[in-house]
């Protein structure tokens, strides 16, 4: 198989796996779909444009919450996955808040009144939403620990462990996934510069821990070695793999 054909096949498998995961994450929230409007937002959308009278449920894709802390400096403070809940009115009052994604993002858009009615009448649904918001808070705590305490190499490893756990699927003896952010987006998420991200990726590739397949495709050749590069690797896996089957390369 040619490299181009291989990359195309890998991308098709990755997108198919993404849809299966998204459907699983949304299953517990399916009651809300009947009260929701399906919306597709572009790669870059200001939170102010969403309005305060709605709740948004991520239906497909990985979305970053980005802000401009100071002029010319962008920061991605969190990543959102299918099933995550976005309430525009409850976001921190940071300047220039936007939703950013590599591909157009898909959401369920629900009026806050309809959302309140559904959750008030269904205890199981409310518990699901409560646990989802707590999980999102826990992920932000983990991300703060990664950015504040780890070296640049450890941060990149943490990001790859998160993506592999959340988005990856076995591909032979490797774990394959599509990066949800560009090199610059990864740098913004990890509080690094893009050159540092590139050098770290190259070092991991030289060590045969990962392999790049095109601009966004990653194969993790040695998952234990990648996990060992990050002191918080085990904790990240525990957090992001909750309720999911364990990845294996055996």
DSSP symbols for 159-171:
HHHHHHHHH-EEE
The two three-digit tokens of residue 35, written as one number: 């009260």
| Torsion angle (degrees, nearest 10) of CA 201, 207, 211, 215 | 20
| pLDDT for the residue numbered 5 | 47
Cα first-last separation, the chain: 23
Highest mean pLDDT among 23-27, 73-77, 225-229: 225-229
Average pLDDT over all residues of the chain: 87
| Torsion angle (degrees, nearest 10) of CA 10, 213, 196, 189 | -10
Flag whether the pTM goes above 0.75.
yes
- 24-46 pLDDT, tens digit each: 778 889 999 999 999 998 888 89
Residue with tokens 């999102």: 136
- 99-118 pLDDT, tens digit each: 999 888 899 999 999 999 99
What domains are defined for the chain? 31-147 (2.60.120.10)
Say which range, 15-19, 232-236, 239-243, has the weakest mean pLDDT: 15-19
| pLDDT for the residue numbered 2 | 45
Q: CA–CA separation, 184 vs 173, rounded Å? A: 29
| pLDDT for the residue numbered 19 | 53
């Amino acid at each position: 198989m040619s490299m181009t054909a291989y990359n195309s096949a890998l991308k098709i498998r990755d997108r198919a796996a993404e849809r299966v995961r998204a459907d699983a994450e949304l299953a517990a929230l399916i009651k809300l779909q009947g009260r929701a409007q399906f919306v597709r937002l572009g790669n870059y959308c200001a939170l102010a444009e969403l309005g305060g009278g709605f709740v948004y449920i991520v239906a497909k894709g990985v979305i970053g919450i980005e802000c401009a802390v100071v002029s010319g400096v962008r920061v991605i403070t969190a990543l959102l996955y299918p099933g995550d809940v976005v309430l525009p009115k409850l976001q921190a009052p940071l300047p220039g808040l936007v939703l950013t994604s590599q591909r157009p993002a898909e959401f369920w858009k629900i009026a806050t009144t309809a959302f309140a009615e559904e959750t008030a009448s269904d205890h199981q649904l409310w518990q699901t939403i409560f646990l989802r918001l707590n999980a999102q808070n826990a992920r932000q705590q983990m991300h703060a620990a990664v950015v504040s305490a780890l070296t640049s190499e450890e941060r990149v490893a943490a990001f790859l462990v998160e993506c592999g756990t959340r988005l990856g699927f076995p591909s032979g003896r490797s774990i394959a996934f599509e990066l949800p952010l560009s090199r610059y987006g990864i740098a913004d998420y990890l509080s690094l510069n893009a050159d540092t991200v590139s050098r770290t990726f190259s070092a991991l590739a030289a060590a045969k821990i990962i392999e790049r397949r095109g601009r966004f495709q990653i194969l993790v050749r040695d998952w234990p070695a990648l996990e060992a590069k990050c002191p918080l690797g085990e904790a990240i896996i525990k957090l992001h793999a909750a309720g999911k089957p364990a990845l294996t390369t055996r």
